[in-house]
Amino acid sequence: MLDVTTGAHDALSQALARSAVAREGKVSDFLAWFTDFRVRAYTTVERMPLHAIDGWKRDAGTGELRHRSGQFFSVKGLAVESPDQCWNQPIIHQPEVGILGILIKDFDGVPHLLMQAKVEPGNRNGLQLSPTVQATRSNYTGVHRGRAVPYLEYFQRTPSRRVVADVRQSEQGSWFYRKRNRNMIVQVNEEIEVRDGFRWLTLGEIHDLLAEEDLVNMDARTVLSCLPFAGLGVERGFGAGRNSFQAALLRSLDAHSGALSTEREIQSWVTEARTRCELRTRWTPLRGLSGWHDTADAMVHDSGRFFSVIGVQVTAGGREVTSWGQPMIEPYGTGVIAFLVREFDGVLHVLVRAREEVGFSDAVELGPTVQCVPENYDVLPAGARPRFLDDVLGADPERIRFDSVLSEEGGRFFHALNRYMIVETDTDVARDDPDFRWMAVHQLAALLRHSHYLNVQARSLVACLHSLVAGGITGTTGPHAAR
């Protein structure tokens, strides 16, 4: 028999909805387990001058930073030209596609996700909650000569019926040159040994943890955003705590709800933005990069802003002690990454921005309403401030639905913190604004089945939106209620 896909998808969505309302343990139980693991999995990170990073060398000619094996990644110079401005910047070049994967398994009809407590050198707090597998290709093809990646076998040669999601997605386009990782969610039925540092959690438990500061890492958030979570059936499980914001969000998750713009109109808007984009990039030597200079141990922008390239020496504890050096990007300031949201005809819409970033594979992706580091604009005239930044920062606290400081990828970025926010608004934009569109969440979900539509910051916010269906700051079962 031919498979008509919608049925299977609905069943999975309903199972995920059960998972979103299921909370077996208290957040405090989780935190006890997590804290215990943190003590055992200590890591020390020391700064090292760029020229003295263990295992790395700077190219004599170009000044590029490369690992001696030729693997992992390199830091190169990029020259950027657009009709408005030209600049140079260092950028991470990592052409290989890694795997970010989460295993899902039903326990008594409730899907659970296998999550990992993982140490990354760039995490301010060392340990964060990661996907089941978070591995670069160098990791899993053995360039590391380290331990085998646990559970990797479930994400290789996976029978197609077990694949819930499988799509390559971009990462930070300002810091990575055309980096993509494969985001995978795979269902298992068989018994699985839960190794030290791993734990089955319901979607509801993960949603609660998302509201904790700096706990659920970027790799987990991007994979979570690809879950086919339509919120179906959450109403039944949720009951009394539901408010009108959540009702509008549930309707927005439902692919049968209407939206201000049709799929075709959104496609045309994206095509227009990508055709219009005139950002041109080319490689240029990292040594002597105009606008940047070397300090005793780092490469910094002449203004002191944007970001620096630093070196670190990492010593990771656990059963085996391992030690390695690597360059990292250390951003300047704490960013603000926010969706403005508003109901139209009872359906919550998200204000999405078409963003050019130098490292995107395809010129433009859809990003948050606001994505910036406000300090970078402090010295500029008021007209240069990003649109809607003041709507976000000046919002009535009652209309702030999500507000948590979260980190970007701790394997490449050092203390890269952003304040993730979801904020209700009454503001509007012109229907034909070249940069912004109101979209329903199910429209974002449809695009998330394809590569290169939503940038990694927008994907994090989609995961945060899911977390508000049955919890969140104003919910009755969220972490704030539980403590």
Does position 435 bind its own copies by CB under 8 A?
no
d(CA 81, CA 211): 39
How far are the Cα atoms of 319, 352, 399, 459 from residue 368, in angstroms, in the given order? 41, 5, 17, 9
Does position 1 bind its own copies by CB under 8 A?
yes
**Beta partners for 169?**
181
d(CA 335, CA 386): 12
Does position 152 bind its own copies by CB under 8 A?
no
Does position 268 bind its own copies by CB under 8 A?
yes
Stretch that binds its own copies, among 2-10, 57-65, 295-303, 471-479 (CB under 8 A): 2-10
For its own copies, give the closer residue by CB, 280 or 293.
280
Q: How far is the CB of 242 from its own copies (least distance, A)?
A: 21
* Amino acid at site 235: E
Residue 384, Cβ density class (10 Å: 0-12 exposed, 13-18 middle, ≥19 buried): exposed
d(CA 99, CA 140): 9
Does position 153 bind its own copies by CB under 8 A?
no
Q: Which of 274, 287, 387, 399 binds its own copies (CB under 8 A)?
A: 274
For its own copies, give the closer residue by CB, 271 or 427.
271
Does position 59 bind its own copies by CB under 8 A?
no
d(CA 20, CA 130): 18
For its own copies, give the closer residue by CB, 40 or 450.
450
For its own copies, give the closer residue by CB, 44 or 244.
244
The pair of three-digit structure tokens given for residue 464, joined into one six-digit string: 């945060």
Q: How far is the CB of 155 from its own copies (least distance, A)?
A: 11
Does position 379 bind its own copies by CB under 8 A?
no
Residues 7-46 that bind its own copies (CB under 8 A): 8-9
The pair of three-digit structure tokens given for residue 455, joined into one six-digit string: 């940038």
Distance of CA 422 to the CA centre of its chain: 15
Q: How far is the CB of 2 from its own copies (least distance, A)?
A: 3
How far are the Cα atoms of 231, 260, 350 from residue 345, in angstroms, in the given order? 19, 9, 14
Does position 136 bind its own copies by CB under 8 A?
no
C-alpha distance across the termini of the chain, in Å: 51
Q: How far is the CB of 10 from its own copies (least distance, A)?
A: 13
Chain residues in the site for its own copies (CB under 8 A): 1-5, 8-9, 97, 158-161, 163-168, 182, 256-265, 267-269, 271-272, 274-275, 344-345, 347, 361-362, 432, 449-451
